[in-house]
Structure 1
Amino acid sequence: MTGPYHRGEREVQRRAGLREEAEVSGRAIRDTVPPVAASFLTQQRLLVAGAADDRGDVWATVLTGPAGFLRTEDEHSLSIAARPAPADPLATVLERPVHLGMLAIEAATRRRMRMNGTARPRGGGLLVDLDQVVANCPKYIQKRTPPAADSGPASASPPEPPSPSLPGARRSDRLDDGQRRLLAGADTFFIATADEHGRADASHRGGNPGFLQAPSPTLVRWPDYTGNAMFLTLGNLLVNPRAGLVVPDYATGATLHLTGSARIVWDAEDARSPVPTPADTGRMVEFAVTGVAELPGTLPAGWSPPALSRFNPPVPAAGAPSAV
């Protein structure tokens, strides 16, 4: 490591011509949770988490609970009063110590906070020793409100373990037609990556519906929009192509989890699909799917319709020619 960045992140910054901007943004990376961020965490009901399994496959998931299920025990540690359901791809992974990438996101206010660290099981939840804390901007977050819920603090006692089965959970090695339609209509997904040493990270991706494409049952692609120049996700992909996606269905509460490998497409003309998705940067990511899990009831159902971010670039109509 040199400063806050590893070699993959620095190489992507260099190739994108944004090293100076990355140095400025890197000042926001720390290893402690400031008091204002600790207060934000206690209000959250949703946490995205990502990690690698025993085979090295990276998966992303979503943990939920009442306000208060996330708490900082001190400025270096995070307590999570939740664990994945047994059918979740990360359920067994989180039964042992593992490096975990995390993102707390509040769509109603377009606020988010990124945290990484080593998670250990504790009771029915997790305790995470943090080594990286990053505040992110609200860009590309669609504003939506979760269904009403008890906003009181979570119980201090450990939560009950999840039920031993999850009816309706499905696993496959490729996307079916319904899952491809979900991706085509999505305005939000989350991506988990890890560096060459297995240090995980979780991040948000958003855009107008259609920005996420599934040209085939085993290929997913999306544009890389202008961001904070850190390139924490692309930097990981440069040194370790394995990644995991989780796509929420805010209407039903189901989540679609994908694992596979990703490559950075620096020029859309190099893309495998004849109709690339335009990006303001010229960069795209292509993701080869090797595993699929669809889980019902991960999120509370019935979120409000989204107010799309004003920063979202336009997406051409299906079948229309596009240019970068």
Structure 2
Amino acid sequence: MAGYHSGESAVQRQAGLLRQAAFSLGGIHDSIPDVAAAFLAEQPMIVLGGADARDRMWATQLVGQPGFLGVPDPRTLVIEALPETDDPLHELLTDTGPGGLPARVGMIAIEPATRRRMRINGRVVRERRQLRVAVDQVIANCPKYIQKRERVVPEDRPKGSGPRVVTEDTELNPDQQRAIGAADTFFIATASGDGDADASHRGGNPGFVRVLSPTLLRWPDYTGNAMFLTLGNLVQNPAAGILVPDWDTGTALHLTGTARTVWDTDETAQVPGAQRLVEFTVAAVREITAACDLRWSGPAFSRFNPPVG
């Protein structure tokens, strides 16, 4: 890692956290250490972010039995799964291959039961029924704002399972608005001005994401590691994608649009724990029921979550 790009440095400077950001740079590496490879081998899911053919950012989730994420060498991640044809990143992740240009993706693996997570950014190509990622960045993150959940293996048919149904729109319907307003976790995908993708986690108590209208969301940016990889990307490229998982039913709510950071101190002061605010304008919605067969217990909320006003 040579350092942060100009968008990340600009946000660090405006936040007054250049010294902390310089320290945090030591947490960004260009290869996967053995302990991280062991962590990945235990995971049943990974979230990926990238841009579609129209340069819209999306975030999605791939799942499999533990072991479906492999590290044959420290600079390579192999994912033994491909997205379904109705997944918003299907074309990005399946139209690449040997001899073609690799797609740039950001990824985050998260283990709710232990509140552990790690991010990997790189370039992916498809090889038969697997994805092969050449690693550019490996980022260790702290467990703040992750809600603890245990994986549930139901004896009978999983709650909410049924036919896979896809609905699309340009705004959020009332049920989707309620789901987002009750969410304690979502994932956000962004990219730099050069197209390097990143995927990150956001968490808080239910209600931390406010639905201001069918096309406008707002959430607080809490104290973190001062890298500002997401907000820094938004300085250079406002495109963003959001995945809101339903931990009970496996439904995936995908949003794409644009995002911006709100630095207004008066507005920020009205939101407990907020250092800044982020507003997301919805351009397209894709909801997929029965998108994931994983099921999880109810959350034990992170002790770091600020109260919701």
Tell me, yes or no, whether TM beats 0.5.
yes
1:33 to 2:32 alignment? yes
2-structure distance, mates of 1:119, 1:279:
39
3-state SS, counterpart of residue 26 of structure 2: helix
Q: Which residue of 2 aligns with 1:22?
A: 21
Is residue 101 from structure 1 mapped to residue 103 from structure 2 by the alignment?
no
Determine helix, strand or coil for the equivalent of 1:92.
helix
Cα distance in 2 between the residues matched to 1:286 and 1:224: 10
Q: Is the 8 A contact 2:50 2:105 kept in 1?
A: yes
Contact 1:265 1:286 in 2 (8 A): yes
User: How many Å separate the matches in 1 of 2:270 and 2:293?
Assistant: 31
Cα distance in 1 for residues equivalent to 2:113 and 2:291? 19
8 Å contact kept, 1:169–1:296? yes
Partner of 1:123: 128
Aligned position for 1:303? 296
Contact 2:106–2:197 (Cα < 8 Å) also in 1: yes
**Unpaired stretches in structure 1, ≥5 consecutive residues:** 150-165, 317-324
Contact map agreement 2:144 2:302 (CA 8 A) in 1:
yes
Which residue does 2:45 correspond to in 1?
46
Which one of 258, 278, 290 corresponds to residue 283 of structure 2? 290
Q: Which runs of 4+ in 1 moved over 3 A?
A: 268-271
Specify the SS of the correspondent of 1:244. Answer: strand
Contact 1:107/1:141 (8 A) holds in 2: yes
CA contact (8 A) 2:153 2:295 kept: no
Provide the rounded CA distance (Å) in 2 between the counterparts of 1:167 and 1:148: 20
Aligned length in residues = 295
1:36-75 alignment, distance < 5 Å: 36-75=35-74
Aligned mates of 1:243, 1:73 — CA distance in 2: 31
What value does the CA root-mean-square deviation take over the aligned residues? 1.5
Secondary structure, aligned partner of 2:21: helix
1:148 aligns with 2:153: yes
- Structure 1 partner of 2:86: 87
Q: Which residue of 2 aligns with 1:157?
A: none
2:157 aligns with: none
Match of 1:228 among 222, 225, 228: 225
Residues 88-114 of structure 1, C-alpha deviations (whole Å, 9 max, x = no match): 100011122210000010001000010
Equivalent residue for 1:207, pick from 183, 204, 209: 204
String of CA shifts for 1:254-307, please: whole Å, max 9, x gaps.
Answer: 010000000100125468xxxx96153430000000010001122225410000
Structure 2 Cα separation of the partners of residues 277 and 253 of structure 1: 34
For 1:122 and 1:208, the matched residues in 2 are separated by: 40
SS class of match (1:285) = strand
Deviations 1:239-263 (A, max 9, x none): 1000000000111110100000001
Instruction: Report if the CA contact (8 A) 1:268-1:284 is conserved.
Output: no
Kept in 2, the 8 Å contact 1:60–1:244? The answer is: yes
CA distance in 2, matches of 1:299, 1:313: 30
Q: Report the CA distance between 1:123 and its aligned residue.
A: 1.1
SS in 2 for 1:26: helix
Kept after mapping to 2: 8 A contact 1:211/1:277: no
Q: What TM-score do the two structures reach when normalised by structure 2?
A: 0.92
